[in-house]
Chains A and B, each alone.
Chain A
């Protein structure tokens, strides 16, 4: 049950048969989320893709995220792993995202300092320069693919810089990450292949740092933290793996969706340009409305949650995107309100796994949009129907042609 063909077929009732890879759901998931949320079963269940639960109300998603003892992170991918065979790298996970307490605490603690607001601020200028260079390449043409030519190019370079790995390899990193998180979700062979690419790349990087330790280098510092915590090579490879996977597709999707939105809302472009104070709330609002990330949880022991009989081993899809459009929590949830005051959104999750990279993600999103609007104040979609989307774990546009 792990390919598109095996899981295709019309969805008759989304509360008992939703399909997260249904092309229509991938393109525009919000109407289905709404139907499920307002039905008698706001926690839907489907046998497709190995079976999963799909809570759609804010309150339920947050409650499950907070109950980390019952709803564990031992697998956070939205579809089951097809083959246990992951070769030599079977043991490399993605700490802290795949860690449960008690280890989760130090797995997270060790990487937090590089993501604090003061620590990520130093990437602002280089991100701004990067955005300008990207725009230089297409501004004279009068059109561009906002997803591929712009959004996709930004986060990968920031993360490569942070990890101290060659920025010139950005295209390869991007294709590996898409192999794991996008194409690989419905094609187990692609997923395994790219996972091996990522882990073997970082294995070499680790060997290199052991032979030639560097100053102010994340990988060197992690390898040298053994005096404080029981750090292993597997942990360091896992962290690097996660930073690449969690840092690229997610942020690129957020930038892409935001540009897709702005392309259709010239009045929002205008307001952001004339009222710079709006940026802080606008970024949070765009993250809320177009939350890219859905994570999974695995039920630890048989339990009943809101009347749903959940069995040990069941998969739950934590639809942060659905939670963020719950009218019980947000007034006019389907509307983008740039100065929304009360916005307790969960685009970055909730509870102990709350996104460690959120300050970096916000910075990248803000700078990417600011530079775009400075250089290209007026732009529109070439053809709304030609925009393509990725979905499942990370939702965002993959081709988004705009003209200016």
Chain B
């Protein structure tokens, strides 16, 4: 599993980093950054999915 953030949709709400702090961080404007750009370890899959489900802008893309 890999995750991406659609920068055009992200409004910097940080619900993603609350749900999955290991996977998402924030740049100097508060917009989401992806901390693990390669394959996510299996133990983070649930958290990444939770982040996706909590992003109010639907800005998180998960590639399985």
Residues of A within 8 A of B (CB): 62, 109, 112-113, 115-119, 280-281, 284, 341-346, 348, 350-352, 354-356, 358-359
CB neighbours of A346 from chain B (8 A): 56
* Residue contact A343 to B13, C-beta cutoff 8 Å: no
* Residue contact A109 to B29, C-beta cutoff 8 Å: yes
Q: Which residue of B lies closest to A120 (CB)?
A: B30
Any A CB within 8 A of the CB of B55: yes
Any A CB within 8 A of the CB of B39: no
A201→B61 CA distance, assembly (Å): 46
CB neighbours of A345 from chain B (8 A): 56
* Residue contact A354 to B12, C-beta cutoff 8 Å: yes
Any A CB within 8 A of the CB of B5: no
Interface residues on B, range: 10 to 19
A47 to chain B, nearest CB (A): 32
* Residue contact B29 to A113, C-beta cutoff 8 Å: yes
Any A CB within 8 A of the CB of B4: no
A334→B15 CA distance, assembly (Å): 21
A341-B50, A342-B50, A344-B56 given as contacts; is B11 within 8 A of A352 (CB)? Answer: yes
Q: DSSP majority for the B interface?
A: loop
A112 to chain B, nearest CB (A): 4
A326 to chain B, nearest CB (A): 14
A131 to chain B, nearest CB (A): 21
B42 to chain A, nearest CB (A): 19
* Residue contact A358 to B13, C-beta cutoff 8 Å: yes
Q: Which residue of A lies closest to B18 (CB)?
A: A280
* Residue contact A354 to B11, C-beta cutoff 8 Å: yes
A115→B30 CA distance, assembly (Å): 7
Any A CB within 8 A of the CB of B28: yes
* Residue contact B13 to A342, C-beta cutoff 8 Å: no
* Residue contact B13 to A348, C-beta cutoff 8 Å: yes
* Partner pick for A116 among B30, B53, B57, CB 8 A cutoff: B30
The 9 A-B residue pairs with the shortest CB-CB distance in the complex, in nearest-first order: A354-B11, A116-B30, A112-B29, A342-B53, A344-B56, A280-B18, A117-B26, A113-B28, A344-B54
Contact with A along B25-42 (1 / 0, CB 8 A): 011111000000000000
* Partner pick for B14 among A62, A113, A358, CB 8 A cutoff: A358
A284-B15, A348-B13, A354-B13 given as contacts; is B54 within 8 A of A342 (CB)? Answer: yes
A169→B18 CA distance, assembly (Å): 34
B19 to chain A, nearest CB (A): 8
* Partner pick for B15 among A109, A113, A116, A344, CB 8 A cutoff: A344
* Residue contact B29 to A350, C-beta cutoff 8 Å: no
A113→B26 CA distance, assembly (Å): 11
Q: Which residue of B lies closest to A354 (CB)?
A: B11
A342→B17 CA distance, assembly (Å): 14
A284→B27 CA distance, assembly (Å): 21
Q: Which residue of B lies closest to A66 (CB)?
A: B57
* Residue contact B28 to A351, C-beta cutoff 8 Å: no
A355→B13 CA distance, assembly (Å): 8
CB neighbours of A284 from chain B (8 A): 15, 18, 54
